Amino acid sequence: MEVGLIGSAIGFGSLDWYTKGLYDGLRKEGINVEVIWSPQPTFVGGQTLHHSFLLPSHILKVAKKFDIIHATQLGFTVIFPFLRGIGRVVTIHDLIPLLYPEEFSHSIPSRCINLSAFFFWLSTSKCAEKIIADSSQTKSDIVRFGYPKEKIEVVNLWIRPTIRRVKVKKNKTVLGYLGAVTYRKDVKYIIKAFHEFQKYDKNAALWICGSGSDPRYVEEVKGLTIELGIAKKVIFMESLPEEEISKIYSSFDVFVSGTRSEGFGLIILEAQKCGVPVIVREEARIPEEVKRYCIQAKSPKDMAEKAFNIIKNEKFRQKQVKLGMGYAAKFNLQKAIKKTINVYEELVKY
């Protein structure tokens, strides 16, 4: 079986990480696999030119040598209608651009362009014989957009083996969040929760680890800490070296998330693997298989109260740690690769 993965495996983004993980895992299982990619122009509009014309042109040149071509994201399926006699697979990570268009642009014209592109990719992706969804929730979402259930297989994401619990020394309680600082992630929610938490522990700190694509929203977040009088207790960390991530997670007494919606929510499982109890907002759209062992909060005030209960009740805390670590360990690359190979083998049979 010859498999071609459309995607970059050399960057540091989540999609690069996904492509690299598939490539390494498939090779380890004896699958002949190549990454299909071409250099991307760096000028303004270069990404659009690359994804719409340069990369599809390159794929057409090399496609014949593969039994299966797997697009690692929706935007790489523009070439699918032109491929014949080759099994086509696409991974759909989420439908966030449709649910939260403001996440990507505050400009109405830009939103219209982004949505038009996304709907176009949805149409070309329907040429795929098989669709991989990151979660049961994503599967349900794309079925509502007219995809037949029998085409869709759920293959959950995996936690990198480098993510693990480590021993750290600290002299104060730390509530923490690691991830994007964006509207959808609603970092303001956890800042409000931390403000409430001050009633229980005035010496505690809140770590917000990650960057945001919209400088205006980041400034709003920082402005809220000033407004609430907790700016000196909220630590922002934008640059996160890979080798420090496990240490950062392990430094949290509780991981707090204000996210409104997730296609998957890998950071929740990563925190649990590092032995950190997780609290999410009750109304958030998070896949059931991810939030299974999370504590759910009805409001920022409720989140603060539950965080304090976790910290003061050692027996309850250890129970949450044990459940979370055991469950998170199940989300590994080997399991994801075996399920992905099963998808490929179903296509090759026919």
Stretch 241-263: mean pLDDT: 94
What's the pLDDT score for residue 328?
Answer: 97
User: What token pair was written down for 64?
Assistant: 């014949």
User: Do 15 and 145 belong together in one domain?
Assistant: yes
Q: What is the pTM of this model?
A: 0.92
- Who wins on pLDDT, 168 or 239? 168
pLDDT in tens, 297-334: 999 999 999 999 999 999 999 999 999 999 999 999 99
pLDDT band of 102, cuts 50, 70, 90: low
Edge-first strand listing for the sheet containing 130-133: 32-36, 2-6, 68-71, 87-92, 130-133, 152-154
- 166 lies in some domain: no
Among residues 161, 115, 157, which one has the least CA distance to residue 132? 157
Least trusted range by pLDDT, from 3-17, 242-256, 269-283: 3-17
Percent of the chain with pLDDT over 90: 76
Q: Which amino acid is at 110?
A: S
Stretch 182-189: mean pLDDT: 94
What's the pLDDT score for residue 16?
Answer: 87
User: What token pair was written down for 187?
Assistant: 């970092």
User: Do 260 and 316 belong together in one domain?
Assistant: yes
- 169 lies in some domain: no
User: What token pair was written down for 165?
Assistant: 């619990």
Q: Is 30 left (phi over 0), alpha (psi -120 to 50) or beta?
A: left
H or E segment to which residue 125 belongs: helix 108-125
Q: Which amino acid is at 165?
A: R
Residues 52, 40: Cα–Cα separation, whole Å = 11
- 34 lies in some domain: yes
User: Do 184 and 308 belong together in one domain?
Assistant: yes
- Phi and psi of 108, rounded to 5°? -60, -45
Number of neighbours of residue 205 by Cβ within 10 angstroms? 19
Residue 247 to residues 14, 68, 220, Cα–Cα distance (Å): 20, 39, 28
What's the pLDDT score for residue 184?
Answer: 92
User: Do 16 and 72 belong together in one domain?
Assistant: yes
- 20 lies in some domain: yes
- 163 lies in some domain: no
Number of structural domains the chain divides into:
2
Partnered with residue 236 across adjacent β-strands are 208
Residue 167 DSSP one-character state: -
H or E segment to which residue 177 belongs: strand 174-178
Number of neighbours of residue 350 by Cβ within 10 angstroms? 6
User: Do 233 and 259 belong together in one domain?
Assistant: yes
Stretch 89-93: mean pLDDT: 96
CB 129 within 8 A of CB 151: yes
- 165 lies in some domain: no
Among residues 296, 271, 299, which one has the least CA distance to residue 282? 296
- 134 lies in some domain: yes
Residues 27, 321: Cα–Cα separation, whole Å = 34
User: Do 320 and 336 belong together in one domain?
Assistant: no
CB 121 within 8 A of CB 75: yes
User: Do 40 and 145 belong together in one domain?
Assistant: yes
H or E segment to which residue 68 belongs: strand 68-71
What's the pLDDT score for residue 113?
Answer: 67
Domain that holds residue 271: 174-328
Least trusted range by pLDDT, from 45-54, 134-143, 254-263: 45-54
Stretch 228-241: mean pLDDT: 93
> Which SS3 state, helix, strand or coil, does residue 175 take?
strand
Partnered with residue 272 across adjacent β-strands are none
User: Do 11 and 90 belong together in one domain?
Assistant: yes
User: Do 178 and 90 belong together in one domain?
Assistant: no
What is the chain's mean pLDDT, rounded? 92
Radius of gyration of the chain (CA): 21
What's the pLDDT score for residue 105?
Answer: 58
What's the pLDDT score for residue 107?
Answer: 64
pLDDT in tens, 118-175: 888 888 999 999 999 999 999 999 999 889 999 999 999 999 999 999 999 988 999 9
User: Do 205 and 192 belong together in one domain?
Assistant: yes
Quickly list DSSP for 17-46: HHHHHHHHHHHHTT-EEEEE------STTH
CB 228 within 8 A of CB 191: yes
> 139: domain CATH number?
3.40.50.2000
User: Do 107 and 232 belong together in one domain?
Assistant: no
Question: Can you tell me which residue has the tokens 């599967």?
Answer: 139
What's the pLDDT score for residue 121?
Answer: 85
- 167 lies in some domain: no
What's the pLDDT score for residue 65?
Answer: 93
User: Do 6 and 154 belong together in one domain?
Assistant: yes
